[in-house]
A and B are shown apart, each in its own frame.
Chain A
Amino acid sequence: MLAARVLGVLGVLFVLSIIVFAMMYLAPGDIVKNLLGNRPANPDVVAAVREQYRLDDPVVVQYLTWLKGFVTGDFGESIRLQVPVAQAIGDRIAITAALCGLAFLVSVLVAVPLGVRSAVKAGGWVDRTGNALSILGLSAPTFAVGLVLLYLFAYYVPILPVYGGGDGGLDTLRHLVLPAITLALGLGAIIVKLTRTAMLRELESDYVTFARSRGLGERMVRRIALRNAAIPIVTGASLVLTFLVGGTVLAETTYALPGIGTLLQDSVLFKDIAVVQSLTLLVAVVIAVIALLADLAYLLLDPRVRRQMGAAS
């Protein structure tokens, strides 16, 4: 079953790679001109580009060459930056990964306890406040939240940096706080809702009644219920992780962070096709891996599924 799942993911990635490759031809304008960027178009350079991208070969060969490059880590050359794409991405991926990781951590650490608390005291003030906050978090667009926080912290309470990525280490971490909160708000809102719903259902179940009737303390009962609720929460949360991928473009742009998001935005505006292709496919791979990990988490969390998988393989 897991093997089938991996094969399915590979199939999806294969189809995506064809679409991404086709972008080169689908982009408006002459393909050589697009690949040249703002370099002067003399015959020598044109010939070099045609040679480099094998434009004279059949499309299938071009695709296979390109795919081989992608798989082996050779993503081509960025027209705008005049460096290999791998290097351009490598320089920026750390800050984006840190941003996404921090945002995920913040949202889980705040949202799960808030969701549990909301479910345990359903209708109480924590529940109502949490509900209002999560509606706000769900409905406010990331860029709007970003701008509000930016305005607030740049002007009224200038305690956190609002521009750039800092000088590494703790300074970078400080620079990441606001963008991470911006991203975490939307993500956290979904996790609060997921946790609350799952916990409410678990707290209604027979095993909770049975546990209470045996004299188990309320904290223990909540732990047991949360362990059961973890199955829907983890699968749900890992799926909304993909939300971060889109959100990071907006957050990085708002706070001028030199990450993958700004690289993607600049490359799209500049028609830097090699970078856009690589980033698009990279994002697809990341999302596919997250979805696979979600399945694995399911396997770890639910002993019933574990046995079925064991029997099927």
Chain B
Amino acid sequence: MAGGVVEKSTSNTSTYAGLGVFMMLPAWAIIGFFLVLPVATMLIYSFLTKEFRGGVIWEFSLAAYDQFFFDRGLFGDDPARIEWTYILIFWRSIWQAGMATFFCLLVGFPTAWFIATRTGANKSVWLFLITIPYWVNLLIRTISMKFLIRDTGPLNEWLMASGLISDPIHIINTNFAVQLGLFYSYLPFMVLPIYASVERYNLAFSEAAADLYATQWTTLRLVILPAVKPGIIAGCILVFVPSMGAFLAPDLLGGAKNFMIGSLIEEQFKGNAGNWPFGAAVSMILLSMVLIVLTFYARQQGKEGAH
């Protein structure tokens, strides 16, 4: 209406023009000093020599990365072979995180669609119900899950009492238990971005597709999914990334056999292994992988925006 784009644009004499740096300073200082600097320190630590009871000796060394990738025998003088132990732990983490992401998508998409297509106050109540569990302590949620699925837990008790099974199903300390735990931890992260995408989806597209003889499922495949793809990708990343570095679910639900990156790192600092440079190196490798995923995502977002 009145006033063109230029006239409506926020003035270049913003209310607090000139104070930006001053007001940003506390955030810069705190995050810079207590997060950016620590990550830099960690990078340095990963190139230092280990001290046996934790800590480091300030001597440059590639031992941590060497230990990660190569096996040089018990005394370190055998010819270097590829060390599979840690690569397998990473691979397991990726696999577990991937499965958890898949389950989240399977349940999360229909839920997000259903909620986003409700009307009025109903919608915000549904949305609220989905978000509540996220705000409950992750530790408590994981403990609850452990309690529920133990061999002698309520789930097995009921199934046996109802006569459906005669012996308890062994879930705890399996890969599936970890996937279930991760799924349970991060499900709201899948629902919320998809929900946001579906909210913006114009139902007139569905009407147009139906008018042109498409069935509901064809419409879903050819019209809806492409339209809400950004939300699905965002949801998958939000579930996959924290799942990969998760500690509680694998530690409490997976047991010793189902080690993931999180537990490997924790063991270097809190457990018996006590190898700080190695822990720092594993953390750096994890961080690099996450940053690669995020950069890829940002690129993708940039491309979508360019259209």
A interacts with B: no
B interface residues, Cβ below 8 angstroms from A: none
Q: Residues on A close to B: CB < 8 A?
A: none
